[in-house]
Amino acid sequence: MNQFLIISLIENSFFKNFKILFYLSSLNNNFFKDLLSLCSLKNSFFKDFKGQLSLEFLLISFLAILILVSITLPIANLGIDYGFDSSSSLEIKSELSKIANGIDSVYSNGAGSKRTLAIEVPKDVTVRFSKNPNSNEGLATVSHVLSDGSMKKIELSYKYPNLNFDLHLIKGYNSVIVEWPLNSTEIIIYKHI
């Protein structure tokens, strides 16, 4: 009767696969001795099971990190590209503003005035000087290529309307001279080499 009760308890426990061993041990009179050996088997099983849990946890953690990185890395890369595009566009616009302010300063000072500008651009650009079709002013335009291949036009106006040429600026430092010669009717812009 006691042996049947132990076997039914084992069926409801985690070790129901071992009920045959209990049944076989009940046929012998060494039931308690076999029960103790089974308990030592149970302890070693739990040790192995804990190791398996640790390994599964490591694998699941690795997969979760891998999925997280594969999702966030392209998004972060896209954000970095947009950040660099915005930064270089602002730098070009700032340097273009220096040139436009230099033209306005020379134009307002009249013939015989001259300004030397230190222009630093993040990449090679060509500045197009032309007359603004919508007003009686000049227009400085730079076509800036973004990281995704699209073009962004950066435009600034200035007061002197008679410039019509291109000025190529190389990446890095450029010394640009805006000058209105004394016996001339036009402002000239050139790079100092």
Cα separation, 13 vs 102, whole angstroms? 89
Q: Are 108 and 158 in contact (CB under 8 A)?
A: no
Closest CA to 169 of 115, 109, 113, 124: 124
Q: What is the pLDDT of residue 39?
A: 54
Helix, coil or strand: residue 54: helix
Q: Of 8-17, 51-60, 136-145, 171-180, which gets the smallest average pLDDT?
A: 8-17
Q: What is the pLDDT of residue 149?
A: 86
**pLDDT exceeds cutoff 80 at 82:** yes
Quote the pTM value: 0.63
127 CB-contact burial (10 Å; exposed 0-12 / middle 13-18 / buried 19+): buried
CA 188 remoteness from chain centre: 42
Q: Where are the domains of the chain?
A: 94-192
Q: How confident is the model at residue 120 (pLDDT cuts 50, 70, 90)?
A: very high
Closest CA to 140 of 169, 114, 112, 180: 169
CA angle at residue 105 from 102 to 108, to 5 degrees? 150
Could you read off the pLDDT of 17-71 as tens digits, one per residue?
Answer: 444 444 444 445 565 566 556 555 545 545 555 566 778 888 999 999 999 999 9
**pLDDT exceeds cutoff 70 at 91:** yes
Q: What is the residue-wise DSSP string for 117-162?
A: EEEEESS-EEEEEEE-TTSSSEEEEEEEEPTTS-EEEEEEEES---
Q: Are 92 and 142 in contact (CB under 8 A)?
A: yes
Distance, first Cα to last Cα, the chain: 108
Cα separation, 172 vs 137, whole angstroms? 29
Task: Give the residue, 7 or 79, on which the prediction is more confident.
Answer: 79
**pLDDT exceeds cutoff 50 at 7:** no
